[in-house]
Amino acid sequence: MIVLIRLTWALIRSQLKRRIDLLDESAVTMRVWPNDLDLNLHMNSGRYLSMMDIGRVEILGRTRLLRKVFGRGWRPIAAAATIRYRRSLLPFQRFTVRTKVVCWDDKWLYFRHVIERRGDMCAIGYVRGLLRGRDGNITPAQILELAGKTGTPSPPMPDDLARWLAAELR
């Protein structure tokens, strides 16, 4: 329930924040609440993935694509994720999720999420995702067109992302 409240709050705030370009980084700040904790009294590992979900939706809002995407009946889908944990997040600590579209191919968008507290990286994750419409998957080219970026080439894929994808295909 709290994740849904955070998601709604991020959507509202994203509309009030400055518009960003599709390739810009988005940042949303949250706090660790008691229902985010595991038995070790730090943020549960699965909760990081939920916070990354909020980061991806927030970037849609900040790019002003959210209404256009939902208006077309398109929905975000996460197909795969990898995450590395560096530092714990403790009760009531504030943290920031920094989200960026790092590259794309013919089918997928690739997002990088950095979760940090006071400038210290707590986790870094990548998500492979897309938008799906009533008639199937929406290509990155269609998303770029919607964003007014038709024909924009993908930035080069980061090495660590390429290694993860290569390992996943084995």
Q: 28: part of which helix (H) or strand (E)?
A: strand 26-31
Average pLDDT of the residues in 45-69? 94
Q: How far is 96 from 122, CA to CA, in rounded Å? A: 10
In this structure, what token pair is assigned to residue 37? 């904790």
- Burial of 89-118, coded b for 16+ CB within 10 Å and e otherwise, reads beeeeebbbbbbbbbbeeebbbbbbbbbbe
In whole numbers, what is the pLDDT of the chain averaged over residues?
94
Give the start-to-end residue ranges of the domains of the chain.
Answer: 2-168
- How many alpha carbons fall within 13 Å on the CB side of residue 109? 25
Q: Which ranges of the chain would DSSP assign to H, the alpha helix? A: 2-16, 45-62, 66-71, 140-146, 159-168
Q: State pLDDT tens for residues 76-110.
A: 999 999 999 999 999 999 999 999 999 999 999 99
% of the chain with per-residue pLDDT over 90 = 89
Instruction: Assign domain 2-168 one CATH number from 3.40.50.300, 3.40.50.150, 3.10.129.10, 3.10.28.10.
Output: 3.10.129.10
Q: State pLDDT tens for residues 142-169.
A: 999 999 999 999 999 999 999 999 998 7
Q: What is the pTM of this model?
A: 0.93
